[in-house]
Amino acid sequence: MNKKLLFFDIDGTLVDHEKKIPPSTKQAIAQLKQAGHEIVIATGRGPFMLKSVSEALHIESYVSFNGSYVVYNGEVVYSHPIDTARLKELSQITIENKHPLVYMTPEGMRTNTDQSAYLDAVDEPLKLRLPQVEPDYYMGKEIYQCLLYCKEEDEGYYKSNFSEFGYNRWHPYGSDILPPGGSKARGIQALIERAGVRDEDVYAFGDGLNDLEMLQYVYHSVAMGNSPDIVKEAARYITKDVAEDGILHGLKMLGLLKD
């Protein structure tokens, strides 16, 4: 069997609904590596946020920040930060609107404000804790992704006035903001070119809306059973729920692992 290159999303794919890696997934990843295949994490998380998973599964390659920062076997092979001047304009407007904006680098993240125009008005408070406030954190740094905390109906303003950015909504009150052309698919393309693997030997597993372009791009795409319908429709194959040994089941379904 030719060497395969496999990309795995983290949340809802490699880790279950309790944010734990199923034992069957650990076993499956170990067996793939033992067979000589290459494993890559493809996530919206930054490098500093995926260490627990990468260390537990012994994975050294990743497509992070939804494709904006890519590392292959410890080497940065693709880097696509957000333009600082436009980020400054965006930051000023979000502060005026009391919509927290989180700046993300490979090493960490900070927010421009902890004041929100909407959290007190909703029935369920935002479950994600905002990081430390540092409004000028983006100055002199390369920011690969931002998190914008606002309701979906408020996002239209930003999409109209900052139309060059990419937007991935992952929560009723939160969206990723990506640099122009940013996507998991673009980051995966860069890593495939660096690894020198044939397109027909590339696989990807995902479950979220930010996985759509990835699943549409790779030759063999697998949606988790816990994916929304739009993600399932974008994939070539559908496996079981992550909590039902979905990774192991999917790999057996593809013939990459045996019973």
Residues catalogued as catalytic: 9
State how far the alpha carbon of 116 is from the alpha carbons of 125, 137, 149, 175, in Å.
11, 19, 8, 15
167 within 8 A of 175, measured Cβ to Cβ: yes
Beta strands in the chain (DSSP E): 5-8, 38-42, 62-64, 69-72, 75-79, 101-104, 109-111, 145-148, 166-171, 174-178, 202-206, 220-223, 237-238
Separation between Cα atoms, residue 8 and residue 36, nearest integer Å: 17
Separation between Cα atoms, residue 130 and residue 94, nearest integer Å: 15
108 within 8 A of 48, measured Cβ to Cβ: yes
User: How does strand 69-72 pair with strand 75-79?
Assistant: antiparallel
Q: What residues pair up with 103 in beta bridges, in sequence order?
A: 110, 146
